[in-house]
């Protein structure tokens, strides 16, 4: 026999408060004294009261549901992103309804209609199937992640900077040929900047390169077969050259790494691999993979914050190494090439600021806008002289900021 559900009337009768007071306890508890809040709370425990979420939805029209559309779950980036969203309940108190859209626009529209029937309060879209104009027509908050988003809000990684860092690392490792492996990305998609940065960086440094955009497939095994074909083609085309392989994501990088081990039984000196995402597979692979980190947890958090006040935001990339390759580099004299200035997002002159720092010239450092440095490390990364620009600027910046605080 089912137990009778405890109602507001039951609680009111037990506590000798009015039903209005009980309602205030649930909706505006601060309007009651602490003593009365405790009395009602004890009554709830004694009576065995269970919250009726459905009644709350019917009363205020808020379902506390957010829909998520992902392309698939076999790419580790999407599964890790989903993990971050699902673990955010304690912070945002939203529940998630998730669909994996793998079979076209018609299927995805059906999924969204189903989500709307649950009165979702927002939609997070990682798939590339429906144009943003169509998504905007649903008249609910929609947040795009790493996809075309002309008509909706978006959260994106700085793909260009990430790819520049990956390509620069392979160039510094003195690879004979650099190869980028990716899907045929639409130019309106943020991830296209990975292709663009790879190409432009190779051309700037006059490094031979190849771009293979033939990865496609609707399953892990289909994509693995394509990666295997690309691997065999690279083996045949560049047999004795040192090959620097920049792959679009860590899943592809892990596939490529496994193919190398299957053929050689070890990791030969003729290969260097860089992935993208810093998803768990990068560290769990047979050999840890050097990868560009997307800060997936920050992207997920930003999407949740943006859900209530949609704006366009970006998250800078972070480069994660298997070892401290910067410390191993030998510093030489500045050649005044200007690359640190070109790459600097703050539009300052890192080489000069580093000189001021070396001379402990705090006044000149501040006058030349040293405090504007965001310490992203891009200047150190592109410096052909291997100067630790970021470290020098960061040290003087801390001193200048500390002295400024003392004067207040």
Highest mean pLDDT among 11-25, 37-51, 276-290: 276-290
**Which pair of tokens denotes residue 353?**
């600021």
Mean pLDDT along residues 66-95: 90
Residue 351 and residue 252 in one domain: no
Would you state the pLDDT for residue 308?
Answer: 62
Q: What is the pLDDT of residues 101-157, one digit of tens each?
A: 877 888 999 999 999 988 898 999 999 999 999 999 988 899 999 998 888 888 988
Residue 172 and residue 278 in one domain: yes
CATH classification at residue 287: 3.40.50.2300
Q: How far apart are CA 19 and CA 370, in angstroms?
A: 63
Please, are residues 296 and 77 in contact by the beta-carbon 8 Å criterion?
yes
Mean pLDDT along residues 294-298: 88
Q: How far apart are CA 225 and CA 230, in angstroms?
A: 9
Residue 284 and residue 223 in one domain: yes
With respect to residue 218, please indicate whether it lies within any of the assigned structural domains: yes
Would you state the pLDDT for residue 408?
Answer: 61
With respect to residue 96, please indicate whether it lies within any of the assigned structural domains: no
Would you state the pLDDT for residue 194?
Answer: 95
**Which pair of tokens denotes residue 248?**
């679009």
Q: What is the pLDDT of residues 228-248, one digit of tens each?
A: 999 999 999 999 999 999 999
Residue 287 and residue 354 in one domain: no
Would you state the pLDDT for residue 56?
Answer: 57
Q: Is 267 exposed, middle or buried (0-12, 13-18, 19+ CB in 10 A)?
A: middle
Residue 288 and residue 212 in one domain: yes
How many independent structural domains does the chain possess? 3
Please name which of 319, 387, 317, 401 lies closest in space to residue 349, comparing C-alpha atoms: 387
With respect to residue 187, please indicate whether it lies within any of the assigned structural domains: yes
Please, are residues 155 and 296 in contact by the beta-carbon 8 Å criterion?
no
Would you state the pLDDT for residue 221?
Answer: 94
Would you state the pLDDT for residue 383?
Answer: 86
Please, are residues 41 and 71 in contact by the beta-carbon 8 Å criterion?
no
Q: Which residue has the tokens 């390169």?
A: 209
Strand partners, 157: 315
Mean pLDDT along residues 275-283: 92
Q: How far apart are CA 290 and CA 162, in angstroms?
A: 12
CATH classification at residue 27: 1.10.260
With respect to residue 254, please indicate whether it lies within any of the assigned structural domains: yes
Range from 195-204, 224-233, 301-310, 368-377 carrying the lowest mean pLDDT? 301-310
Residue 358 and residue 251 in one domain: no
Which residue did the predictor score with more confidence, 356 or 347? 356
Residue 223 and residue 340 in one domain: no
Please, are residues 257 and 55 in contact by the beta-carbon 8 Å criterion?
no
Residue 163 and residue 290 in one domain: yes
Residue 398 and residue 282 in one domain: no
Please, are residues 211 and 245 in contact by the beta-carbon 8 Å criterion?
no
With respect to residue 120, please indicate whether it lies within any of the assigned structural domains: no
Question: Which residues have a Cβ under 8 Å from the Cβ of 25 and sit 6 or more positions away?
Answer: 32, 36, 37, 40
Mean predicted lDDT score pLDDT of the chain: 86
Would you state the pLDDT for residue 228?
Answer: 97
Residue 238 and residue 336 in one domain: no
Residue 333 and residue 291 in one domain: no
Which pLDDT band holds residue 183 (cuts at 50, 70, 90)?
Answer: very high
**Which pair of tokens denotes residue 87?**
């673990």
Residue 215 and residue 170 in one domain: yes
Would you state the pLDDT for residue 318?
Answer: 43
Q: How far apart are CA 277 and CA 235, in angstroms?
A: 26
With respect to residue 171, please indicate whether it lies within any of the assigned structural domains: yes
Which residue did the predictor score with more confidence, 49 or 120? 120
Would you state the pLDDT for residue 329?
Answer: 57
Mean pLDDT along residues 249-274: 96
pLDDT at 312 over 50: no
Please, are residues 232 and 221 in contact by the beta-carbon 8 Å criterion?
no
Q: What is the pLDDT of residues 324-346, one digit of tens each?
A: 444 555 778 888 888 888 888 77
Q: How far apart are CA 393 and CA 370, in angstroms?
A: 7
With respect to residue 253, please indicate whether it lies within any of the assigned structural domains: yes
**Which pair of tokens denotes residue 186?**
């639409």
Q: Which residue has the tokens 């000196």?
A: 269
Would you state the pLDDT for residue 144?
Answer: 93
Please name which of 153, 156, 135, 128 lies closest in space to residue 143, comparing C-alpha atoms: 153
Q: What is the pLDDT of residues 17-39, one digit of tens each?
A: 988 888 888 878 888 888 888 89
Q: Which domain holds residue 24?
A: 8-50
Mean pLDDT along residues 180-205: 93
Would you state the pLDDT for residue 319?
Answer: 44
Would you state the pLDDT for residue 90?
Answer: 84
| Percent of the chain clearing pLDDT 90 (strictly above) | 47
Beta strands in 184-309 (DSSP E): 209-212, 243-247, 271-277, 290-293
With respect to residue 235, please indicate whether it lies within any of the assigned structural domains: yes
């Amino acid at each position: 026999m089912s137990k009778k559900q405890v109602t507001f009337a039951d609680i009111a009768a037990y506590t000798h408060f009015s039903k209005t007071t009980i309602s205030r306890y649930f909706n505006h508890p601060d309007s009651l004294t602490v003593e009365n809040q405790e009395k009602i709370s004890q009554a709830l425990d004694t009576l065995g009261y269970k919250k009726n979420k459905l009644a709350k939805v019917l009363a205020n029209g808020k379902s506390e549901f957010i829909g998520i559309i992902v392309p698939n779950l076999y790419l580790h980036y999407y599964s890790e992103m989903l993990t971050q969203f699902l673990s955010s309940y304690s912070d945002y108190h939203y529940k998630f309804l998730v669909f994996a859209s793998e079979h076209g626009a018609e299927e995805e529209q059906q999924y969204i209609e189903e989500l709307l029937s649950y009165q979702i309060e927002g939609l997070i879209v990682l798939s590339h199937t429906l144009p943003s104009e169509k998504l905007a027509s649903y008249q609910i908050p929609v947040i795009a992640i790493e996809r075309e988003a002309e008509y909706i809000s978006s959260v994106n990684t700085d793909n260009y900077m990430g790819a520049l860092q990956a390509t620069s690392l392979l160039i510094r490792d003195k690879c004979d040929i650099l190869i980028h492996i990716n899907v045929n990305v639409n130019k309106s998609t943020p991830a296209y900047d990975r292709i663009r940065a790879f190409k432009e960086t190779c051309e700037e440094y006059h490094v031979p390169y190849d771009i293979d955009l033939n990865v496609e497939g609707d399953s892990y095994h289909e994509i693995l077969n394509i990666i295997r074909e690309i691997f065999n083609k690279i083996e045949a085309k560049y047999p004795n050259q040192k090959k620097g392989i920049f792959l679009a994501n860590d899943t592809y990088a892990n596939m490529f790494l496994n193919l190398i081990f299957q053929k050689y039984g070890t990791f030969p000196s003729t290969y260097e691999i860089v992935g993208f995402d810093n998803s768990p597979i990068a560290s769990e692979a047979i050999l840890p993979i050097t990868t560009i980190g997307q800060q997936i947890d920050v992207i997920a958090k930003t999407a949740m914050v943006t859900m209530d006040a949609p704006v366009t935001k970006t998250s800078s990339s972070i480069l994660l190494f298997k070892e401290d390759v910067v410390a191993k580099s030998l510093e030489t004299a500045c050649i005044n090439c200007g690359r640190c200035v070109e790459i600097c997002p703050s539009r300052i002159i890192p080489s000069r600021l580093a000189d001021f720092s070396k001379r402990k010239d705090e006044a000149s450092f501040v006058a030349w806008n040293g405090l504007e440095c965001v310490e992203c490390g891009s200047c150190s990364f592109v410096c052909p002289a291997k100067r630790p620009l970021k470290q020098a600027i960061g040290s003087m910046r801390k001193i200048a900021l500390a002295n400024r605080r003392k004067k207040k």
